[in-house]
């Protein structure tokens, strides 16, 4: 017998929390690009006698779902997709483990259970929005804002430890490429290594001290998709990578200026000074060879965002992104949900059953509080 069946229903707020449903949701692999099977399942499984469902094509083979109880002016929202790899669910009696348990199928489950509580209390005017493609660029949210006129409130579910997010960091992504000159590694003086130029770039980037934001703290960055396809005995003639920044209110524009002014023969950013003021500091030093051999392509991202905070709920800023900034068809936004971001995207991803209980109660209270504002 499946261990989930032993804990099939747990009473929360006089409504039985359907743990088997959570298990069924987690059993479906919905890594980004594969959301269709989960959308098909939920479109049928989550329908109640009091709600209707609409399906919106994103345009890439995935879909968004909107469940509506009456005409929604308050919408709960989370995302269908997860990061890879798929990890099957395991329940140990106090926590649910597996891919998506914390980010963000736990939020889907808690929000749906909250919707059932609201339905049982005779409320209407609320909805549950499930979006595709959050982990790969919020493509579902971007499509939905063009397809739906929106509503007054959206409550976006992400792992915030059941705190309301006061603000979230922005994101900025850049593709960086270095063009070198391939040569025998025994005679490096006749070539130009793209790997060495990348190393110089890393040292320069580490030397920049971005100002600390009083709300969101430090600006951080990470390098991924690093590619240099050269044999070990030949200098690299090309290296490409992605540089991904988590920006603050202080540095969102500054990061763009830094990356704009860092590359090319006419690069304006020199590295004779350590503290950046506006991203265009000029110091009387020659542009380095790695700057001349470097190109930068900007891919944009989200801006840092402030959210609504309601009295009686704990609040804190968060350093991660979500669909919330893209949902411009909603006027007021709350970002909160069960689980810890510190275990999201990790092999040990999990969520505590007590956190889900708390989230269900919170979502009901948030709805009821908004109704009387």
Instruction: Provide the pLDDT for residue 182.
Output: 97
Q: Where are the alpha helices (DSSP H) in the chain?
A: 3-6, 19-27, 36-45, 105-120, 139-147, 194-207, 252-260, 289-292, 353-371
Instruction: Provide the pLDDT for residue 74.
Output: 98
Confidence check: pLDDT of 8 > 60:
no
For the chain, list the domains and their CATH numbers.
3-167+305-371 (3.40.630.10), 170-298 (3.30.70.360)
Instruction: Provide the pLDDT for residue 269.
Output: 60
Confidence check: pLDDT of 75 > 50:
yes
Quickly tell me which residue has 């007054």 as its tokens. 152
For the segment 78-103, the average pLDDT, to the nearest whole number, is 96
Each residue's pLDDT tens digit, 117-144: 999 999 999 999 999 999 999 999 999 9
Each residue's pLDDT tens digit, 187-218: 999 999 999 999 999 998 998 999 999 999 99
For a pLDDT cut of 70, what percent of the chain falls above it? 90
Distance CA 277, CA 79 (A): 37
Instruction: Provide the pLDDT for residue 302.
Output: 92
Instruction: Provide the pLDDT for residue 190.
Output: 97
User: What is the per-residue burial (b if ≥16 Cβ within 10 Å, else e) of 291-324?
Assistant: bebbebeeeebbebbebbbeeeeeeebbebbbbb
Neighbours of 265 (CB within 10 A): 8
Task: Classify residue 172 by its DSSP letter.
Answer: E
Sheet with 330-335, edge to edge strand ranges: 52-57, 63-69, 126-131, 74-79, 151-156, 330-335
Enter the pTM of the model: 0.88
Confidence check: pLDDT of 99 > 90:
yes
For the segment 4-16, the average pLDDT, to the nearest whole number, is 51
Each residue's pLDDT tens digit, 306-362: 999 999 999 999 999 999 999 999 999 999 999 999 999 999 999 999 999 999 999
Instruction: Provide the pLDDT for residue 233.
Output: 97
Instruction: Provide the pLDDT for residue 272.
Output: 45
Helix axes of 105-120 and 19-27: crossing angle, nearest 10 degrees: 140
Each residue's pLDDT tens digit, 251-297: 999 999 899 888 877 676 655 444 445 555 444 457 888 999 999 99
């Amino acid at each position: 017998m499946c261990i989930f069946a032993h804990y099939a229903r747990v009473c929360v707020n006089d409504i039985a929390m359907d743990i088997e449903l959570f298990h069924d949701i987690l059993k479906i692999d919905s890594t980004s690009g594969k959301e269709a099977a989960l959308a098909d399942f939920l479109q049928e499984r989550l329908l109640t006698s009091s709600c209707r469902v609409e399906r919106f094509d994103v345009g890439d083979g995935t879909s968004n779902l909107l469940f509506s109880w009456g005409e929604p002016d308050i919408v709960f929202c989370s995302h269908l997709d997860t990061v890879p790899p798929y990890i099957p669910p395991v329940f140990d009696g106090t926590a649910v483990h597996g891919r998506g348990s914390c980010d963000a199928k736990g939020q889907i489950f808690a929000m749906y259970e909250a919707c059932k509580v609201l339905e049982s209390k005779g409320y209407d005017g609320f909805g549950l929005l499930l979006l595709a493609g959050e982990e790969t660029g919020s493509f579902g949210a971007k499509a939905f804002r063009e397809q739906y006129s929106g509503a007054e409130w959206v409550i976006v579910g992400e792992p915030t430890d059941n705190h309301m997010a006061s603000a979230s960091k922005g994101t900025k992504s850049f593709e960086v490429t270095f063009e070198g000159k391939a040569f025998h590694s025994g005679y490096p003086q006749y070539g130009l290594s793209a790997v060495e130029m990348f190393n110089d770039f890393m040292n320069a980037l580490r030397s920049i001290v971005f100002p600390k934001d009083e709300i969101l703290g430090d600006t951080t960055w990470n390098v991924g998709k690093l590619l240099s396809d050269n044999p070990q005995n030949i200098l690299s003639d090309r290296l490409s990578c992605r540089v991904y920044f988590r920006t603050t209110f202080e540095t969102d524009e500054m990061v763009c200026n830094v990356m704009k002014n860092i590359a090319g023969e006419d690069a304006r950013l020199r590295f004779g000074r350590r503290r950046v003021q506006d991203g265009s500091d000029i110091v009387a030093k020659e542009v380095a060879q790695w700057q001349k051999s470097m190109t930068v392509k900007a891919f944009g991202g989200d801006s840092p965002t402030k959210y609504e905070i309601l009295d009686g709920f704990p609040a804190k800023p968060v350093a991660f992104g979500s669909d919330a900034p893209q949902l411009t068809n909603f006027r007021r936004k709350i970002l909160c949900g069960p689980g810890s971001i510190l275990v999201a995207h990790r092999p040990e991803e999990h969520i505590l059953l007590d956190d889900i209980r708390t989230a269900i109660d919170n979502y009901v209270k948030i709805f009821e509080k908004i109704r009387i504002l």
